[in-house]
Amino acid sequence: MNEEKKAVSLKFEQFKPAIVLSVIIALVGFVLIVCVGLIPDTSGIITEKLMVKCAELMGEGEYELVTDWEEAGYKIAKPREVEKLIVKDDKSVAFEIITSGFNKDALDILVAMNKDGSVRGVAVAAISESPDQSKKVSAAEFLDRFKGKSGEIVIVGRSPESDGEVEGITSATISSKAIAEAVNIAIETYAEMGVPN
């Protein structure tokens, strides 16, 4: 009988680490689910951060988020690549576009457009790249290089030789290209969407 208790006890001791680990994983999973549920859904609103960036690029005014593009009179439905379309009271528009640099979905970019289809301005609403890269590509000195562009933009490592080229940031080439990608999406989308009646 004593031998039988020892065998049962030994079996439990063998599985004890696995049981403890399973309980820990279950608790961590539960905490993650609760935390994700606490993150607010900002898909249907213009956040304060975006509002500040809109004012920087397009000036003070009233801004509206367009959620149903076709109902608003645009020729196309909201493209997958565009997070938000923000329209100012003077009918100027800005697109929120999220692109990937070194990290997936690391750059939250706002691109304001002129009525002629050229870029009015670019701002970084949020970025989760390295601090050094983030600082370089968020600087006005770099972002102003996109102003007035209306065709496809390519990042180059040297002085631009054509209107479609923008000099990237050394040691932040991938982040520079991610911003150019967002600007290209905005230019293309603006050209396709048309002005509502």
Q: For 89-103, give the DSSP string.
A: TTS-EEEEEEE-SSS
Grade residue 195 by pLDDT with cuts at 50, 70 and 90: confident
What type of residue is 164?
G
Q: For 34-53, give the DSSP string.
A: HHHHHS---TTS--HHHHHH
Long-range CB contacts (within 8 A, 24+) of 70-74: 72/196, 73/196, 73/197, 74/193, 74/194, 74/196
Asked if the model's pLDDT at residue 132 lies above 60, the reply is: yes
Q: How far is CA 47 from the centre of its chain?
A: 13
Using CB atoms within 10 Å of the CB of residue 40, give its burial: 0 to 12 exposed, 13 to 18 middle, 19+ buried: exposed
The residue that leads in pLDDT, 13 or 184, is 184
Closest CA to 177 of 187, 195, 159, 165: 165
CB 143 within 8 A of CB 154: no
Q: How far is CA 173 from the centre of its chain?
A: 17
pLDDT tens per residue across span 89-125: 999 999 999 999 888 888 999 999 999 999 999 999 9
- Please list the residues that pair with 88 across neighbouring strands: 63
Average pLDDT, the chain: 87
pLDDT tens per residue across span 22-53: 888 888 877 777 666 655 556 678 888 999 99
- Please list the residues that pair with 84 across neighbouring strands: 96
